[in-house]
Amino acid sequence: MKRIILLLSILAGVLTAQAEKYTYLTFETTDGAKTSVDVSSLPVTINLDNSTLTIGEKTFTLADLSKMYFSTQSETTGIQEVSVISLDEATDIYDMHGRKVNKEQMRRGIYVMKTKQGTRKVSVK
């Protein structure tokens, strides 16, 4: 029994030492979006209730959360805010199949639009 406790203690120490190089805790949802939280900014407690996980200012629905892991760099993806942008700002526009289109070819649907400020997913109604 003492050997098992000693082995588990050593294993926990090794795992703790290995985890020190990871600076982000990353959450991945079922739709593939990832959100990373800087480990140094983590609160002392993580709130978990019946259907949600709250860590700092981030809240996740447990049913939508596919995995949570430590990472060495921020892996945040997805749309952070909704904003109105003009098609005149676009440098390149792609449909959901990856084909380049021009403004005149755009119909109702979802497009990826590159601008000087970054790349965005846009919806044309």
Strands (E), 2-57: 24-29, 34-38, 47-48, 52-55
Examine the domain organization and report whether 52 and 14 are in the same domain: yes
Examine the domain organization and report whether 54 and 91 are in the same domain: no
Domain that holds residue 50: 2-71
Look at the pTM and tell me if it is higher than 0.95. Answer: no
Inside any domain, residue 81: no
Examine the domain organization and report whether 55 and 6 are in the same domain: yes
How many domains does the chain contain in total?
A: 2
Inside any domain, residue 64: yes
pLDDT of the chain, 125 residues: tens digit per residue:
556 665 566 555 544 545 567 788 888 888 778 888 887 776 656 788 888 888 777 888 888 888 888 888 887 776 555 567 777 888 899 998 889 998 888 888 888 888 887 788 888 88
Residues with Cβ < 8 Å from 53, sequence gap 6 or more? 27, 46, 47, 59, 60, 62, 65
**Rg of the Cα trace of the chain?**
21
**Measured distance CA(58)–CA(55) in Å, rounded:** 5
Inside any domain, residue 92: yes
